[in-house]
Amino acid sequence: MLFPMLLATLLHRPSLADEGPTLDTAAVLQQFPLNKGASWTYAGEAEWTVHDTRKVRTGRVRTVMEVLQFIPGEAGFAAVVRGFPMDLAWYEPGRGNSISVLICKRGRLYQESSRSPKGAAAKARQLLADRAYPPQGAEPFLDLPLRPGKSWAHVPGRDDNMYAWVVEGSEPRPFSAPGVARGASFPAFTASFSTNPDLRTLEFAPGIGITGFAYEHHGAVARTRVRLVAYRP
């Protein structure tokens, strides 16, 4: 009888994303100020494999994430953004800036894609009103507050930190980007999501937001790394 009870306990153990404190809407916005008109400019380098060939190209990348609309809700909020930096995975030159809906509930942020700002706003309102959102198995790209060693969106049964966001650590880091007070230092967290085929790395500084993103595919060449170079609150 003891073994079945122990097994049931393990199978129903809450994920690490459910442990620890969660933030209310105001606290999330203090850490990630997604107010309308805010923008983050990123610059860096990329390598990509040309379609139907084995040729690898390299080039500079510069992109802007801008909040087009902020939509409050009873249980969280949504932001319609253009140029979400995590969409730079599998970068190719000439690809237009993406439109995304960022949904925040219980301190966790989820990304949903959209074809247009108007469609994104409608989708944001629908998801905010949906009490069943996020669906079971949905993976947030950010679970605030961050702390070294925190993990979320992991696959049940795995204990190797694969297929999960893991906060590797943090360190005080000054940002010289326009829009950031001169000499201001922020605790910059680094979180990674590692799978067999690829690796995503996100840098986040509470009070500023996403300060860097990197992507690397382990097969066909596809690498991108950008850092924050300008911020407009």
Local structure of residue 129 (DSSP, 8 states): H
Over the chain, what is the mean pLDDT? 88
The pLDDT, as a whole number, for residue 180 is: 87
pLDDT at 13 over 50: no
pLDDT of 15 higher than 50:
no
Tens digit of pLDDT for each residue in 60-77? 999 999 999 999 998 899
Query: Does 7 have pLDDT greater than 60?
Result: no
pLDDT at 153 (0 to 100) = 86
pLDDT of residue 23: 82
Cβ(224)–Cβ(88) below 8 Å: yes
CATH fold group of domain 15-232: YmcC-like fold (2.40.360)
Query: Please, is 196 exposed, middle or buried when counting C-beta atoms within 10 Å of its C-beta (0-12, 13-18, 19+)?
Result: exposed
Mean pLDDT of 76-102: 93
- Residue 165, Cα to own-chain centre: how many angstroms? 10
In this prediction, residue 107 has a pLDDT band, given cuts at 50, 70 and 90, of very high
Tokens read off for 41:
């400019």
**CA–CA distance, 6 with 29 (Å, rounded to integer):** 40
The secondary structure element, H or E, covering residue 125 is: helix 117-129
pLDDT (0 to 100) of residue 22: 65
The tens digit of pLDDT for each residue in 127-168 reads 999 999 999 889 999 999 999 999 998 777 787 889 999 999
What is the domain partition of the chain in residue ranges? 15-232
Do residues 113 and 96 lie in contact, with contact meaning Cβ atoms separated by under 8 Å? Answer: no
